[in-house]
Copies of this chain bind each other. A is one copy, B any other.
């Protein structure tokens, strides 16, 4: 086993990986940008090397500096987290070339699965069903139009190198296709340095369900249940759960076996996720394989009682998986809410300095945060500040527990999407477990009780709370919240929009 591992990331995933490293008795070290010298992931590490200025393209994404840092700090392996260099096959090769262990799949598997068209061809060969569409990138709008007419609208535009909703567009008609193609290519170029985009049939009543797979270097491969990720806003996952309320045991086994087949088709080792589109008729199609740890992996950990980062580290160290497929048994139900620093109305990122912070506690609650009570959320990076997960003996309890957890959460200084989560967690379709990826495309019902239904004492309490906050700000020489500059305008728009 390793003595020291470098985590080449920041924020919640760097913190989460370092926690398991400590729990395994491994010294965690990391890298940071100039802006992150005192960020939480650096404070939690035993050592950290500055790899460049704030912009990630000049720091966290500069592979050679990360490798040099690992050598300097005496790390034997590099864990990339997700995002940044995690799906960069060239970096994975360079890590190995530097005599370090790459805690991730073989570079060839990353390459195969990293290119969506290549991935589709590879898994098709292994008998894995794929979404109808054309397995080649398009740049000419007329060609895209021809394909779309062939498979029929609506179609999805997807960045070939993409992920996480970037460079992705659902288009319903021909003008939208032309406009969307340009935007998708521009986003793809900006986000991935590759503007290849392809066109795919859009499955009706689609569910986004993914299977967690875990393979060791000794030929053992497991599927560790599924995650339902259909609660999305603009193709970004918002709430995930395990198991899927839409999938029964027979389908779980069928999809699990297909996922393992897909992993084996590309010689996979380590943790990976095979994403499927599942139609309202339960037909399922391979979408892509994410060759890294997934943001939402904790719900799987809570239900299956495994630590996926621990397994990643053990497999990378050459150990065999400590489980057989029969050991992998679910217990209860888990839900995850991604907490973003974002405006609740415009959904735009809302960075800033956290002035007070209190996370939920108690039975069945897990918090993975990338910030603490004194952190600043910088503009330069992903605005996700934490993931809240709850476990319950059944789905209803997990959901009520999440509502309680959200209610126990206090974050001041930045604006978050907690309000969105409150509305999702009380959304009738979500509560009933009958929803598809369209669940957030219609406006969410507002909180159930209008002002008239609230006792006067609650209104008084809210006004007093606001007043005390203003007093505190005044004591610090600041103006009351919302009384200066653009905040007023944004706020008034919010009032009208709400």
Please give the residue numbers on chain A whose beta carbons come within 8 Å of chain B beta carbons, in ascending order. Answer: 15-16, 19-20, 22-25, 298, 301, 305-307, 309-310, 331-332, 356, 358-359, 361-369, 372-373, 392-393, 396-397, 400-401, 403-404
Residues of B within 8 A of A367 (CB): 361-362
Residues of B within 8 A of A309 (CB): 363
Contact present for A23 and B361 (CB under 8 Å): no
Contact present for A358 and B331 (CB under 8 Å): no
A21 nearest CB neighbor, chain B only: B404
Contact present for B397 and A23 (CB under 8 Å): yes
Give bound CA distance, A364 to B396, whole Å: 22
Give bound CA distance, A365 to B393, whole Å: 18
Contact present for A362 and B368 (CB under 8 Å): yes
Kindly provide the distance from the CB of A17 to the nearest chain B CB, expressed in whole angstroms. 10
A403 nearest CB neighbor, chain B only: B22
- Name, among A305, A309, A359, the residue most crowded by chain B CB atoms within 10 Å (CB to CB): A305
Give bound CA distance, A25 to B398, whole Å: 11
Option from B16, B19, B359 in Cβ contact (under 8 Å) with A404: B19
Contact present for A19 and B363 (CB under 8 Å): yes
Give bound CA distance, A356 to B357, whole Å: 11
Q: A400-B23, A401-B23 are in contact. Are A362 and B307 (CB under 8 A)?
A: no
26 CB < 8 A contacts A-B: A16-B363, A19-B404, A20-B363, A22-B404, A23-B364, A23-B397, A23-B401, A23-B404, A24-B397, A298-B363, A301-B363, A305-B305, A305-B331, A305-B332, A305-B393, A307-B364, A307-B393, A310-B397, A331-B331, A358-B372, A358-B373, A361-B366, A361-B368, A361-B369, A362-B367, A362-B368
Give bound CA distance, A272 to B24, whole Å: 35
Give bound CA distance, A306 to B393, whole Å: 7
Give bound CA distance, A298 to B362, whole Å: 9
Residues of B within 8 A of A310 (CB): 393, 397
Q: A400-B23, A401-B23 are in contact. Are A16 and B362 (CB under 8 A)?
A: yes
Contact present for A362 and B372 (CB under 8 Å): no
Give bound CA distance, A367 to B366, whole Å: 9
Option from B20, B305, B359, B363 in Cβ contact (under 8 Å) with A23: B363
Give bound CA distance, A19 to B363, whole Å: 8
A308 nearest CB neighbor, chain B only: B363
Give bound CA distance, A365 to B298, whole Å: 13
Give bound CA distance, A404 to B396, whole Å: 32
Residues of B within 8 A of A305 (CB): 305, 331-332, 393
- Name, among A298, A307, A369, A403, the residue most crowded by chain B CB atoms within 10 Å (CB to CB): A307
A305 nearest CB neighbor, chain B only: B331
Residues of B within 8 A of A356 (CB): 373
Give bound CA distance, A25 to B393, whole Å: 14
Give bound CA distance, A362 to B301, whole Å: 11
Residues of B within 8 A of A366 (CB): 361-363, 365
A397 nearest CB neighbor, chain B only: B23
Contact present for B397 and A15 (CB under 8 Å): no
A396 nearest CB neighbor, chain B only: B25
Give bound CA distance, A153 to B372, whole Å: 54
Contact present for B400 and A22 (CB under 8 Å): yes
Give bound CA distance, A420 to B397, whole Å: 36
- Name, among A301, A361, A369, the residue most crowded by chain B CB atoms within 10 Å (CB to CB): A361
Given contacts A23-B364, A356-B373, A358-B372, 17 further A-B contacts (CB under 8 A): A15-B362, A20-B363, A23-B400, A23-B401, A24-B397, A25-B396, A298-B363, A301-B363, A305-B305, A305-B331, A307-B363, A307-B397, A309-B363, A331-B331, A361-B367, A361-B369, A362-B366
A401 nearest CB neighbor, chain B only: B23
A407 nearest CB neighbor, chain B only: B22
Residues of B within 8 A of A363 (CB): 16, 19-20, 23, 298, 301, 307, 309, 366, 368
